[in-house]
């Protein structure tokens, strides 16, 4: 079910056809955050393709997003694994065949779960790094020839977990730190051919799959400087800005959308240190 609707255009700061003629290529587009990013771009005139592993879920989400704007074209390509660059390359070929070009790329496919270091297996760590970091590299690699043609832009969905030591998120923090470094390097390398690269780093965004899994404790919203959790629309607004002409001189940045929460150490002390002592003590089982 779509989160945004035509009221986003009617009540928005953005012009209605801002992205008319543009095409967005989105990994993880059937998920909560990347879906709403796609909805915003489509409502403002873009066509899009969303990629995912689940065929039915991805195709259904594409149909619903397409219905948001008369005349919109949104492809849902399932059975795509971002860990396999050839899988993404086939999706790129299909996109160009059906939609003609690629202007904007959102690398948003990700994996996450809570685990302390002692019980985080090597395979689990590798799996998250492969999806988040290798998947982001593969997405950029597979789309580059098309993005270079349009002098387009990349947007990598990152996080704030590596700005400080966050317990139970060793795997994701390491992967997202790599995503930031990847985006920064691409901004420098691809800038001379007219391609921009930025990251967006969501904080605690209510209504998302990650929020449901990771938000623990009480009154967490009161510990955000702006005194509320973020919304997917907050992420959509920042996404529109970074792809818009207003950001034509913005590249190599990390746009943090978290209400200022990372400045106060996030929410780590909900589990620190008691849970970590329990999980990592001499009597605990370790997993390889």
Question: Could you confirm whether 284 is annotated as catalytic?
Answer: no
Question: Could you confirm whether 149 is annotated as catalytic?
Answer: no
Which residue among 176, 183, 197, 251 is the active-site one?
176
Decide: helix, strand or coil at residue 19.
coil
Which residue among 12, 136, 158, 197 is the active-site one?
158
Q: Backbone phi, then psi, for 4, in 5-degree steps?
A: -95, 160
Q: What angle do CA 216, 219, 225 make, to 5 degrees?
A: 105
Compute the distance between CA of residue 128 and CA of residue 173 in angstroms, rounded to an integer: 10
Please report, in angstroms and rounded to a whole number, the separation of the first and last CA atoms in the chain. Answer: 40
Compute the distance between CA of residue 29 and CA of residue 39 in angstroms, rounded to an integer: 9
Compute the distance between CA of residue 191 and CA of residue 160 in angstroms, rounded to an integer: 25
Q: Is the peptide bond before 268 cis (omega within 30 degrees of 0)?
A: no
How many other CB atoms are there within 10 angstroms of residue 116's CB atom?
A: 18
DSSP symbols for 213-224: HH--SSSGGGGS
Residues 6+ apart with CB under 8 A from 120: 170, 171, 287
Give the residue numbers annotated as catalytic, written as ranges: 158, 176
């Amino acid at each position: 079910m779509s989160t945004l609707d035509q009221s986003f255009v009617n009540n928005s700061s953005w012009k209605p056809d801002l992205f008319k003629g543009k095409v967005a290529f989105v990994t993880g587009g059937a998920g909560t955050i990347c879906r709403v990013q796609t909805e915003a771009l489509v409502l403002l005139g873009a066509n899009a393709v969303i990629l995912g592993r689940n065929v039915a879920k991805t195709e259904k989400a594409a149909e619903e997003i397409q219905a948001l704007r008369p005349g919109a074209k949104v492809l849902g390509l399932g059975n795509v694994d971002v860990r396999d660059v050839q899988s993404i390359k086939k999706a790129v070929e299909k996109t160009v065949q059906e939609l003609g070009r690629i202007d904007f790329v959102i690398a948003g496919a990700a994996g996450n779960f809570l685990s302390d270091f002692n019980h985080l297996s090597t395979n689990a760590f590798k799996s998250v790094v492969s999806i988040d970091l290798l998947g982001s590299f593969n997405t950029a690699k597979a789309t580059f020839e098309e993005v270079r043609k349009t002098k387009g832009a990349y947007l990598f969905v990152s996080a704030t977990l590596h700005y400080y030591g966050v317990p139970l998120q060793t795997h994701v923090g390491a992967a997202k730190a790599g995503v930031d470094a990847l985006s920064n390097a691409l901004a420098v390398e691809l800038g001379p051919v007219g391609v921009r690269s930025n990251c967006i780093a969501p904080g605690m965004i209510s209504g998302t799959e990650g929020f449901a899994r990771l938000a623990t404790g009480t009154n967490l919203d009161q510990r955000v400087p702006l005194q509320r959790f973020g919304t997917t629309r907050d992420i959509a607004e920042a996404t529109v800005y970074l792809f818009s002409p207003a950001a034509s001189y913005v590249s190599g940045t990390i746009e943090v959308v978290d209400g200022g929460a990372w400045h106060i150490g996030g929410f780590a002390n909900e589990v620190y240190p008691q849970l970590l002592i329990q999980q990592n003590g001499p009597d605990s089982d370790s997993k390889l």
